[in-house]
Structure 1
């Protein structure tokens, strides 16, 4: 299944003359990249064998070496996926997707509205991309490995916001972005002897990519002993999952989690519910929870399109499973929930973690009733969702944000309840179980796009981190945009270099202390360190929280 989605900004920027200096040797063979001025880009490098056919649902297999010089000047395929962003405007309207969400997609993915624009989709997707600063000495620079978001079911390392040329150049780092298996192909909720790694295959792909980095990145100018994994949303949750994988131990040395503090992974009982719904839709015969005969083997022959369609139905039928197809705890590959129990791969890994102040602006926008929220409807909505705490919380938030309208109050409350509480709990657990420093941040810069209806919403910060704020329309054009991007690039790359995010572009950034909860708040007209921002309200919200894979009470 291969189909093109149109050129990205990244692709257009990379259509330049190749120089002889862009040829690099890897363990599997030589690759030729693109000289893009301040950096050299090597795109679509395979780090594993094809995952179709007999390799479907298996752990990643070694890549087959090649002869000669492999062209690494175009992105490799994205993993098979279904995403509302890929739908046409007509389809969005037909299915009732609000216009503000359509606008959001077109601003984040400006050429096609899809995270897989500029490449094609194929089951054989174990590819990565490398951006190295031009003219740097070999084997000396920190490495930053980006894990894309999209929960565990969509996204790609080739998304235009993730073009790594500026981050590499401005921060003196080597940037790597990764494609890996997603959804049912990467996280089949089954762990029988015939497919023992099916529930963790996508995470094992990421481990394989990190092993590739350890073996090869020195040839691109990177230091394999100084690797930072960073990711947003689902990418942050993947980093959380890496922390529960003994196989990832020693493959990364620092971590940055953006808007994705994942405290829980999929347990076996939930996995069985999801798997049963999948088999029912695919009409695979079962007896109770056991698969009859060898019919599970038939899943290897099911067309990708049919698997994706069944995946969507299975998730719709099991809303209690939360994020649906996601890493499954098997006690061996993934030993437990992140930061809990033995087997953590990251107990002594420094952590930079945070989120945006109005994450839920994006998710609320999917509700057709959001556009008409006013003070009266807000009070009614909160009474239904917050119970006896509704009035107390509303008064508190209105006092804290006196200039905010009803929509902003709702965005901030839902963000705190569903995301910032999980972030807070993750920080507490990491601090309790590790001597490594933790640094917290909050992105509080509304870009003003879409008439300000979303605020500082989920994913608005992406282009800022890569220094691509002027390439991605979602970043807006308001005063302070470029300065905040400079601050974030400086902080993120400083952390990659030294394990500390302090830089000349920012005030002194203290590490986390439970007594003060010092937090860098990125905003305009200035970014400042605030002690325990919104702490009292977050403590109340903790009683109601249902966040991203929240910790069990």
Structure 2
């Protein structure tokens, strides 16, 4: 379930408004910490170099009736990094044929929750067909997955992201990774000559991609055919690598640095909240970086008087626990002072300014060095010349868990129920006061046209629709249109996921039970009719339904999706430029037509989402 325990004390960040809620949700369908190693399975030894032989476990994966042996390697260290420093490539794991390195357990999670406190966390996991291990001529497509979690939580080692089915469907090599999170991964701080530049988590991702490029052939993968895939914050990361990230700083054997896009051939963005803006380094420092450092300096006993400008002390003396406590305290400060409550400019029209009203507390920054622009605007600089085919996709009710979180926490943080007045105040702060009547003219966004329920108010229902359509659906359509205009030859594909929920990934901070807005429900005929919330597509893409909480009995449609969606993702990874059925090329024709994943219908039907999401109304706020 999505756990708020790891972010306890940050509820104020949510009460500021609908879109700020994105900063406090993080998938937690994974266990905490690293698992214990087990004995390696037979036929899993892979040779990375003469001094690096690794073994793992064996399982089965692939479509029903066509299962193949899949080898899985977990907890392989790809990088090393001092606190707030650029990571470097780690040595390959030491092992010999007689005594191979045991890669049977996921590495430590990057610091996030109460039990995750290990800063040595740059690990990756590989799933690959057993038949192609040590066969460098196999040249299977590679799927490189970046997990979500609002840049503050998550791990590539979560059971939700088990790569066996995807690997068997390709066949393909599937890689999942850890990267630094929260203040350790995305702190941007500026105080005179003392600078912590931020974007460390993105650098970690680039390093992991370079590691895969250099080593995936040993697993049977093709380094010339890597597709990067991500969900939520992972999709945001993919969008940055695709549209805005500059030269990969990690050097290949040739000794030459390469463009990030030279290391991947395609990209898939699942539920990228494109309406979220990335701040400048100074804006991030002002909003949360300074508060973080001040909290760290005031809470650590014996901190020097020049603590706030003593980078060496900040990097070496505070414990990881100290850092995590300061991270929580700074998020409270961010919530109290975020521009969302005092924005002077509407919506994302302030994309590149220091007053962006819609941001996350810890996130990448547009620094002009690594990140060159806002992905909402398509390709930055001259990057369209090296464009890559990509998939974008959204779910039918992306905003529901965030809106419920706002409703649940509003009385605690603000002292009143999230009602129409609070809704209109937040909407006005985000988009400008003149936008409120324009938006409320549409019934879906007007609390007076929605209904109160046992679990949220009519205002929260309207808020859910705003987040879904504005931040997700229409923002993704906007980006796709920009990208097509910049590089017409690039293949763009879209999907809309609408399968009713049979599980609930989220936990209510009030009841500590499942979040009602995303819970499975049935109509009078006994058919599931619950909302399709943010991240609900993941257990279908990975075929990991047993790993999700509150799972109900799958229907034949659910079972069919656990087969058709992994096959479709694998098909795109095989040939991103021409993936074939079921993918249908997206065109900027004003309809927003994409394929719709719902039940077992193949090929998936088409859905015109532009009008359904009222994108013409949102267009002025997405320029």
TM-score normalised by the chain length of structure 1: 0.78
User: In the alignment, is the contact (CA less than 8 A) between 1:484 and 1:523 conserved in 2?
Assistant: yes
- Partner residue of 1:374? none
Unaligned runs of 5+ in 1: 87-115, 286-290, 372-376, 546-550
Match of 1:497 in 2: 574
Matches within 5 A, 1:116-265: 121-136=117-132, 137-138=135-136, 139-190=138-189, 198-243=197-242, 244-245=244-245, 246-247=247-248, 248-262=260-274, 264-265=277-278
Partner residue in 1 for 2:498 = 444
**Distance of 1:48 and 1:279 partners within structure 2:** 26
| 2:394 aligned residue | 355
Q: Distance in 1 between matches of 2:380 and 2:544?
A: 39
Give the corresponding residue for 1:275: 289
Quick check: 1:39–1:131 contact (8 Å CA) kept in 2?
yes
User: Is the Cα–Cα contact under 8 Å of residues 447 and 478 in structure 1 kept in the other structure?
Assistant: no
Distance 1:378 1:272, change over 3 A: closer
Q: Give the secondary-structure state (helix, strand or coil) at the position aligned to 2:545.
A: coil
Which residue matches 1:40?
71
Q: Which residue of 1 aligns with 2:334?
A: 318
Correspondence 1:420-439 to 2 at 5 A: 420-434=473-487, 435-439=489-493
2:303 match: none
CA contact (8 A) 1:161 1:472 kept: yes
1:30 counterpart = 2:61: no
> Cα distance 1:24–1:8, how it changes in 2: closer, same or farther (>3 A)?
farther
RMSD of the TM alignment (CA)? 3.8
Residue 329 to residue 369, structure 1, CA distance change in 2 (3 Å): closer
CA distance in 1 between counterparts of 2:608 and 2:59 reads 42
- 1:8-53, CA deviations, whole angstroms, 9 ceiling, x for partnerless residues? 599999967611443332487221111123210011111112x3xx
1:232-289 Cα shifts (integer Å, max 9, x gaps): 000011112223222223111100001114463230231221221112212379xxxx
SS in 2 for 1:151: coil
Which residue is 1:341 aligned to? 380
**So what's the TM-score if we normalise by structure 2?**
0.70
Aligned pair in 2 of structure 1 residues 528, 364: CA closer, same or farther (>3 Å)? same
Q: Secondary structure at the match of 1:81?
A: coil
Query: Which deviations, in whole Å up to 9, do the C-alpha atoms of 1:180-228 show, x marking residues without a partner?
Result: 1111111220378988774122111111111111110000010000000
Whole-angstrom CA distance in 2 between matches of 1:308 and 1:347: 39
Unaligned runs of 5+ in 2: 1-27, 61-68, 249-259, 300-305, 340-358, 411-417, 428-434, 504-518, 522-528
Structure 1 Cα separation of the partners of residues 29 and 437 of structure 2: 51
1:335/1:343 contact within 8 Å kept? no
Cα distance change, pair 478–40 in 1 and its aligned pair in 2 (3 A)? closer
**Structure 2 vs 1, CA of residues 482 and 340 (structure 1 numbering), >3 Å: closer, same or farther?**
same
Give distance in 2, aligned partners of 1:302 and 1:535.
Answer: 51
Deviation by residue 1:68-98 (Cα, 9 ceiling, x = unmatched): 321101110110114xxx7xxxxxxxxxxxx
Q: Secondary structure at the match of 1:42?
A: strand
SS class of match (1:36): strand
Structure 1's 12 and 299: CA in aligned 2 closer, same or farther, altered over 3 A?
closer
SS at match of 1:283: helix
Shift of 1:329: 2.5
Deviation of 1:299 (Å): 0.9
Matched, 1:307 2:323: yes
